[in-house]
Amino acid sequence: MNKMRVLLLIALGVLVGSWGMLAISGLAQAETTRYVKPNGTGDGTSWSTASGTLQEMIDMVADSGGGEVWVAAGTY
């Protein structure tokens, strides 16, 4: 999944409504899942090690050929 498509999905999610969590996924089976929460400091491999950098996680998933970025509610 390319970066523009991921960003479009994020924008659509924000326009459609406010959810506690937003899952962004490709059409194919997810290969990678990364987690993002406000003030996260980890590598994004789980909620307990979530990253605080949304763009970095989007780039990782895009570079790995697809997957999901789970985003906790918050300001980024």
User: What stretches of the chain show up as alpha helix (H) in DSSP?
Assistant: 3-16, 54-63
Query: Which stretch of DSSP H or E encloses residue 72?
Result: strand 68-72
What is the domain count for the chain? 1
Residue bearing tokens 């998933």: 61
Pairing of strands 68-72, 21-25: antiparallel
pLDDT band at residue 4, thresholds of 50, 70 and 90? Answer: low
pLDDT tens profile 12-64: 454 444 445 555 554 445 479 999 999 999 999 999 999 999 999 999 999 99
Could you give the 3-state DSSP secondary structure of residue 33? strand
Q: Which domain holds residue 25?
A: 3-72
